[in-house]
C-alpha cells in the first residue's frame, strides 16, 4: 500500500513537471499552505480556550483561588511528558528554530512540527502557562510549508520560501492580519523581498486570513473604538512612550535570557519542572492576569472607560477591592511577567513571546498614560489609545520589527486612525533597544553562533555554506622525526606544496612549505642529516571545524594566507581550507540562493 502511494506520488510529480511550470506550482502550494495553516491556528485557539474555560469558569472573582497553585504545574508536567516520550525532540523557541532551518537546514523542518507544537502549547497555555500560542503556530505553519514542499521534491530555495509562506499564513490566520503576516516574514524571518517571493507570501497570508474571517467572523481580534482622535500636541508624549517601551523591551529581553540561562544549567527535567512550576504557580496565584495569554487583560485595558472597570483586572487576587493600588499592581505585573514566561518555557512548557509582548506593551502604555493623568503634569492622555500604542512599541522592540508592530496592532484592533502614532512609537522603541541589543530575542542565539541568515547577501551566502563542504583532505601528512629523504618521498606522492606535520596522536604541530626546502630537496647527501622538525614552521592560524564561514573569512583576511589548516577541539588535524575552494563554493551557493 505504501509503495503504491509512493508510486502514485512519483507519477504525479513527473506529470506536474511536464504540465505545470514551477513558478505556477509554487503559487498553488502557497495557497494550500494558507488553508492548512489557518485551520491549524483555529484548532489551536479552540483547544486553548476550551481548556481555560473548563478549568477557570467557576472561580470566585472576589477572592484568591488556590487552584492557581496547581494548574500551571500540571500543565508543564503534562507538556514535558508529551515532549519527552511522544515527540522526543526539542520544540521550544519556535521562531528561532525557523531561523535555524532557513540558515542551516535549507528550509527543512521536521515532520512532527506540523502537529507537536499545537498539542504542547495547547496544554501549556490552557493550564495557565504565561506564554503565547503564536510562536508555536508559526513553527507549525512553517513546518507545513516545508513538508508540503518536501513531498513534491521542491529544491531548497523553494522550501525556504514555503517556510516563509507558512509563517505568513500562521500570523495572518491566528490574528486575522494578512499584512502583518507578510511583513513579519520579511522583517523577522528575513526572507528576501523579490517579485517571485512576494506573491506566494501574499497568497498564503490572504488565504489564511480569509479562512479565519469565514470561520470566526470579520470582527478584529480585539474590539477597539477610538473615542478621542490623535492630536499633534501629543507627539512628544508618544515619543516618550516609545522610549519607555524600548526600555521595557530591553528589560524583557535581558531578563528572559538570564532566567533561561539559569534553567539551562539545571541538568534534570524534574529540577526544571519543580523550579519552573513553583515560580509560575506562585506568580499566577499572586497576579492572576499572568494566567495564560493574558488577552482578557488587553481587552479590558483597551475598552475600559473608568477606574471601576480597570480595577476588575485585580479580580481573583489579594488585591481585589484596592483600587488605589492599581498602578502598583500593573507595574509589578510588568516586572514579573518575564519571570512567568521564562518559568513556563524553562520548566518544560511550550509557548512563544508574541502574546507576552502584546500584553506587556498594553500594560506599559496604560501605566504610562494613567500615571501622567494621575499626577496631572501633562494634557490628558487617553489610556486606551496609549495602551494600543504600547502594544506596537514593545512588540517592535522585542522582535526588532517596527513594521510588524505597526501593521499587526492596526489589524488586530482596527485602530487605523492611530497609524501615525503607532509608527512613531514603534520606531522610537526600536531605535532605543538597538542601542543596547543588535539582535532580536529570536535571532540573538543564532547570531552568537554565526548561524543567522540576514538580508546582507554576502553574509547570507556565507551562512549557507558549511565548513565540511570546503575542507580538503588530500594533503599528505608527515611526522617531525622523518628525515629529509622520507619527506622527499612524501612530496613525490603529493600534488600539494604544503605538508601538515602531526604527532602520533594526529595533533597538528606545524606545516612544511615546499618553497622552504626547494633548494636542498635534491641534495641526497643531506637526506639523513635533516629532519622534518628542522624545516617545520607554525601555521599562520588554525581554523576549527566549529567555526562559521564568516569567522573563516575573517581569519583569512587577518592572516593574508591562501591556505589554512583545520583542526578539531583537541587540535587534531582534519584538513586544509583554501581561498580558491571557498570562492568556488561561494559562487555555487550564490547561484542557488539568488533568484533566477
pLDDT in tens, 510-540: 888 887 777 777 777 777 778 888 788 888 8
In this structure, are residues 395 and 408 in contact, taking their beta carbons and an 8 Å threshold? yes
Query: Of 24-28, 363-367, 410-414, 481-485, which one has max mean pLDDT?
Result: 363-367
| Cell numbers 558549511: residue | 466
Helices (H) then strands (E): counts for the chain: 25, 5
| pLDDT at residue number 394 | 95
Tell me which of 3.30.1490.20, 3.10.580.10, 3.40.50.970, 1.10.3720.10 is the CATH number of domain 463-592.
3.10.580.10
Q: What is the pTM of this model?
A: 0.75
Residue 576 pLDDT greater than 60, yes or no: yes
In this structure, are residues 582 and 547 in contact, taking their beta carbons and an 8 Å threshold? no
| pLDDT at residue number 2 | 56
**CATH topology assigned to domain 8-216:** Clc chloride channel (1.10.3080)
Residue 579 pLDDT greater than 80, yes or no: no
Residue 340 pLDDT greater than 80, yes or no: yes
Query: For 232-458, which CATH superfamily applies?
Result: Clc chloride channel (1.10.3080.10)
CA separation for the pair 179, 206 (Å, rounded): 8
Which residues neighbour 4 within 8 Å (Cβ) at sequence distance 6 or greater? none
CA separation for the pair 347, 260 (Å, rounded): 10
- Greater confidence (381 vs 432) lies with 432
3-state SS assignment for residue 537: strand
| pLDDT at residue number 104 | 58
CA separation for the pair 30, 206 (Å, rounded): 10
> In what order do the strands lie in the sheet containing 543-544?
543-544, 563-567, 573-578
In this structure, are residues 443 and 99 in contact, taking their beta carbons and an 8 Å threshold? yes
Strand 573-578 and strand 563-567: the pairing is antiparallel
**357-368 pLDDT, tens digit each:** 999 999 999 999
Query: How many residues belong to the chain?
Result: 596
* Bridge partners, residue 472, by sequence: 576
- The boundaries of every CATH 3.10.580.10 domain in the chain are 463-592
| pLDDT at residue number 456 | 46
**390-405 pLDDT, tens digit each:** 999 999 999 888 999 8
**74-93 pLDDT, tens digit each:** 999 999 899 888 988 877 76
| Cell numbers 524600548: residue | 246
| pLDDT at residue number 194 | 66
Quickly state the pLDDT bin for 294 (edges 50, 70, 90): confident
Q: What is the mean predicted confidence (pLDDT) over 539-551?
A: 81
CA separation for the pair 172, 174 (Å, rounded): 6
| pLDDT at residue number 543 | 87
- The boundaries of every CATH 1.10.3080.10 domain in the chain are 8-216, 232-458
Q: What is the mean predicted confidence (pLDDT) over 137-145?
A: 92
DSSP per residue, 264-279: HT--SHHHHHHHHHHH
Quickly state the pLDDT bin for 42 (edges 50, 70, 90): very high
3-state SS assignment for residue 32: helix
Amino acid at each position: 500500500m505504501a509503495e503504491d502511494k509512493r508510486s502514485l506520488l512519483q507519477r504525479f510529480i513527473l506529470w506536474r513537471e511536464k504540465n505545470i511550470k514551477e513558478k505556477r506550482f509554487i503559487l498553488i502550494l502557497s495557497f494550500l499552505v494558507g488553508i492548512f495553516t489557518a485551520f491549524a491556528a483555529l484548532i489551536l485557539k479552540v483547544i486553548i480556550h476550551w481548556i481555560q474555560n473548563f478549568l477557570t469558569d467557576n472561580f470566585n472573582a472576589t477572592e484568591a483561588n488556590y487552584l492557581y497553585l496547581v494548574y500551571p504545574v500540571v500543565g508543564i508536567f503534562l507538556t514535558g511528558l508529551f515532549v519527552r516520550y511522544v515527540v522526543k525532540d526539542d520544540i521550544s523557541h519556535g521562531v528561532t528554530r525557523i531561523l535555524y532551518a532557513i540558515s542551516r537546514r535549507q528550509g527543512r523542518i521536521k515532520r512532527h512540527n506540523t502537529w507537536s507544537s499545537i498539542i504542547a502549547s495547547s496544554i501549556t497555555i490552557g493550564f495557565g502557562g504565561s506564554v503565547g500560542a503564536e510562536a508555536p503556530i508559526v513553527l507549525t505553519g512553517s513546518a507545513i510549508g516545508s513538508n508540503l514542499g518536501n513531498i513534491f521534491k521542491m529544491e531548497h530555495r523553494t522550501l525556504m520560501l514555503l517556510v516563509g509562506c507558512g509563517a505568513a499564513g500562521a500570523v495572518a490566520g491566528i490574528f486575522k492580519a494578512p499584512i502583518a503576516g507578510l511583513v513579519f516574514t520579511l522583517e523577522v524571518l528575513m526572507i528576501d523581498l523579490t517579485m517571485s517571493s512576494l506573491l506566494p507570501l501574499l497568497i498564503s497570508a490572504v488565504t489564511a486570513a480569509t479562512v479565519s474571517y469565514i470561520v470566526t467572523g470579520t470582527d478584529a481580534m480585539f474590539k477597539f473604538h477610538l473615542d478621542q482622535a490623535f492630536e499633534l500636541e501629543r507627539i512628544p508624549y508618544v515619543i516618550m512612550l516609545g522610549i519607555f517601551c524600548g526600555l521595557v523591551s530591553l528589560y524583557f529581553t535581558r531578563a528572559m535570557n538570564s532566567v533561561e540561562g539559569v534553567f539551562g544549567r539545571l541538568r534534570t527535567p524534574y529540577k526544571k519542572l519543580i523550579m519552573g512550576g513553583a515560580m509560575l504557580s506562585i506568580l499566577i496565584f499572586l497576579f492572576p492576569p499572568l494566567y495564560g495569554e493574558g488577552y482578557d487583560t488587553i481587552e479590558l485595558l483597551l475598552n475600559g472607560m473608568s477606574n471601576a472597570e480597570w480595577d476588575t483586572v485585580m479580580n481573583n487576587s489579594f488585591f481585589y477591592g484596592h483600587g488605589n493600588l492599581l498602578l502598583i499592581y500593573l507595574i509589578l505585573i510588568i516586572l514579573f511577567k518575564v519571570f512567568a514566561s521564562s518559568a513556563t518555557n524553562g520548566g518544560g512548557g511550550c509557548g512563544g513571546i508574541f502574546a507576552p509582548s502584546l500584553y506587556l506593551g498594553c500594560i506599559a502604555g496604560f501605566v504610562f498614560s494613567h500615571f501622567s493623568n494621575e499626577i496631572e503634569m501633562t494634557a490628558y492622555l487617553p489610556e486606551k489609545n496609549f495602551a494600543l500604542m504600547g502594544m506596537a512599541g514593545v512588540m517592535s522592540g522585542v522582535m526588532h520589527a517596527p513594521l510588524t508592530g505597526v501593521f499587526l496592532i492596526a489589524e488586530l484592533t482596527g485602530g487605523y486612525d492611530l497609524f501615525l502614532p503607532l509608527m512613531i512609537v514603534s520606531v522610537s522603541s526600536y531605535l532605543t533597544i538597538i542601542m543596547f541589543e543588535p539582535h532580536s530575542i529570536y535571532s540573538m542565539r543564532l547570531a552568537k553562533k554565526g548561524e543567522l541568515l540576514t538580508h546582507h547577501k554576502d553574509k547570507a551566502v556565507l551562512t549557507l555554506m558549511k565548513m565540511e563542504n570546503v575542507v580538503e583532505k588530500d594533503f599528505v601528512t608527515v611526522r617531525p622525526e622523518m628525515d629529509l629523504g622520507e619527506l622527499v618521498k612524501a612530496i613525490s606522492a603529493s600534488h600539494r606544496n604544503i605538508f601538515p606535520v602531526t604527532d602520533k596522536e594526529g595533533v597538528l604541530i606545524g606545516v612544511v612549505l615546499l618553497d622552504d626546502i626547494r633548494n636542498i630537496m635534491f641534495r641526497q647527501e643531506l637526506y639523513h642529516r635533516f629532519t622534518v622538525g628542522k624545516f617545520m614552521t607554525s601555521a599562520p592560524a588554525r581554523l576549527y571545524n566549529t567555526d562559521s564561514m564568516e569567522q573563516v573569512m575573517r581569519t583569512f583576511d587577518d592572516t593574508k594566507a591562501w591556505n589554512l589548516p583545520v583542526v578539531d577541539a583537541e587540535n587534531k588535524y582534519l584538513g586544509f581550507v583554501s581561498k580558491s575552494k571557498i570562492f568556488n563554493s561561494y559562487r555555487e551557493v550564490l547561484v542557488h540562493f539568488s533568484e533566477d
